[in-house]
Homo-oligomer: A and B are copies of this chain.
């Protein structure tokens, strides 16, 4: 089954990439854009039919590799 994950920067952590996108959008005429934060998205295909077990495995992967918990939060969808 496929599990989706979103990894985002914690509030308060500077996001220069998001800032650059925001400024570019403003420059293109999208003046209503106040802020942009960029994050990462993962689509993991896992050999496990039980959703609870799959999600618990993915949670372990997030903690060990996919997210840097010092500056990032993750959400399993």
A44 touching B39 by the CB < 8 A rule? no
A47 within 8 A of B: yes
A20-64 interface bits toward B, Cβ cutoff 8 Å, 1 = contact, 0 = none: 010011001010111111111111111110000000010011001
Task: Report how far A63 CA is from B43 CA in the complex, Å.
Answer: 22
Query: How many A residues touch B, CB cutoff 8 Å?
Result: 32
List chain A positions with a Cβ less than 8 A from chain B. Answer: 6-8, 18, 21, 24-25, 28, 30, 32-48, 57, 60-61, 64-66
Beyond the given A30-B57, A40-B41, please list 8 additional residue pairs across the A-B interface where CB-CB is below 8 A.
A8-B41, A24-B65, A30-B60, A30-B61, A34-B45, A34-B46, A36-B44, A39-B41
